[in-house]
Amino acid sequence: MNALGKTRITGLAVEAGHTGAALAEPARATTPVVRVENVRKSFGDNIVLDGIDLTVPAGTALVIIGASGSGKSTLLRCVNLLEPVDGGRIFFEGEEITRKGVKVPAVRQRIGIVFQQFNLFPHLRVLDNLTLAARRVGHVRRREAEERAHELLGRVGLVDKARSYPHQLSGGQQQRVAIARALMMRPHVMLFDEVTSALDPELVGEVLVVMRDLAHEGMTMLVVTHEMQFARDVGDHLIFMDGGKIVEQGKPAEVLDRPQAERTKRFLRRTLQLADSLEELTIDEGGVR
């Protein structure tokens, strides 16, 4: 994949010039936006999160990498309360959101999430996909909601697609709409779960650029991705997960260039080498080596 800096979307580049502080509204500087404390989660006998601790300060991007099945999606889903945790606590802007009696929908409005499969509502036009939640639970009037929706569509380079239905858009366009839809609720943090994994390679860049600009504008983000260049360029901190644990973490470039743990080395070898030299890899019961 190309370095991100080389990718350009005309629409976005134009819009990006006058992006205000409206997109990202960082919380009080001292309180981390997200703090995860010894979180445990199992599905039956399958221990998926095995004591996860992490802190995401306001305005930073945390990148999460790890093999398939290592619990990355579950971690994001726990932060958004789509999965209840079995143990441990999660704090959002200093407030514990895993406690009993928390207003779940209100918390979710402040935490945007974008999924691998876009999940745009198929019966609604792009514009209505964006305005639905703002109008229904944000109690924003249609006019205002649509103004903001058009503005956000401009930022993701899709002003002219407001009247389209999701199925009329490419995967990359759908994913950018999904990002805009999540931003409608003015979230204080954005969660991205492998948002480029379902895209054709030539469409990955346009989505990563939107995410990069969001990070540069100061949005706090948790990003699960396999795009190592993105991790390096945009991430402030990187964690490598394996078997429900954080095996290694640090500055993205350091972890990616000088991994310490054996499991990290093996994972990075598989992921990075695959592109260079498929021939050097062998397969056995443990998978690719």
Partner 1 sequence: MLAANFDWQFIWDHLPDFWEGLKQTLKVAGIGIAGSLAIGIVLGAARAHRVPVVSWLAATYVEVIRNTPILVQIFFIAGALPHFPGHPIRLEPFTIAWLAVVIWGGAYNTENFRAGFEAVPYRYREAGLALGLGRLGTFFNVTLPIGARIALPSTINTNVSVLKNTSLLTAIGFAELTNTAYSLESESFKATEVYFALGVTYLIVVWTLSLLIRVVERRLALPEAR
Ligand X SMILES: Nc1ncnc2c1ncn2[C@@H]1O[C@H](COP(=O)(O)OP(=O)(O)O)[C@@H](O)[C@H]1O
The length of the chain is 289
Determine the Cα–Cα distance for residues 255 and 267; give it in Å rounded to an integer. Answer: 12
- Told to check if 73 binds Mg ion by CB under 5 A, we report yes
Give me the least distance between CB of 54 and ligand X, in Å please.
15
Q: Of these partners, partner 1, ligand X, Mg ion, none, which one is at the site of residue 109 (CB under 5 to 8 Å by kind)?
A: partner 1
Give me the least distance between CB of 228 and ligand X, in Å please.
16
- Told to check if 225 binds Mg ion by CB under 5 A, we report no
Give me the least distance between CB of 114 and Mg ion, in Å please.
13
DSSP string, 71-101: SHHHHHHHHTTSS--SEEEEEETTEESSSTT
The answer to whether 222 and 76 are in contact (CB under 8 A) is yes
Contacting residues toward ligand X, per CB under 6 A? 43, 46, 48, 66, 68-74
Determine the Cα–Cα distance for residues 238 and 242; give it in Å rounded to an integer. Answer: 13
Count of chain residues binding Mg ion (CB under 5 A): 1
Stretch in the footprint of partner 1 (CB under 8 A) among 88-96, 100-108, 239-247, 261-269: 100-108
Q: Restricting to residues 149-208, which ones interact with partner 1 according to CB under 8 A?
A: 165-168, 181-182, 185
What are 89's two structure tokens?
A: 């606590």
The whole-angstrom distance between residue 147's C-alpha and the CA centroid of its chain comes to: 25
Stretch in the footprint of partner 1 (CB under 8 A) among 128-136, 199-207, 217-225, 241-249: 128-136
Stretch in the footprint of partner 1 (CB under 8 A) among 53-61, 116-124, 221-229, 261-269: 116-124
Give me the least distance between CB of 13 and partner 1, in Å please.
28
Q: Restricting to residues 9-28, which ones interact with Mg ion according to CB under 5 A?
A: none
Q: Of these partners, partner 1, ligand X, Mg ion, none, which one is at the site of residue 185 (CB under 5 to 8 Å by kind)?
A: partner 1
The whole-angstrom distance between residue 66's C-alpha and the CA centroid of its chain comes to: 14
CB-nearer residue toward ligand X: 5 or 69: 69
Determine the Cα–Cα distance for residues 105 and 101; give it in Å rounded to an integer. Answer: 12
Question: Beta strands of 145-262 (E only): which ranges?
Answer: 189-193, 220-224, 237-242, 245-250
Give me the least distance between CB of 160 and Mg ion, in Å please.
32
What are 50's two structure tokens?
A: 């095995």
The answer to whether 237 and 249 are in contact (CB under 8 A) is yes
Q: What is the contact surface with partner 1 in residues (CB under 8 A)?
A: 80, 82, 104-109, 112-113, 115, 117, 119-123, 132-133, 136-137, 165-168, 181-182, 185
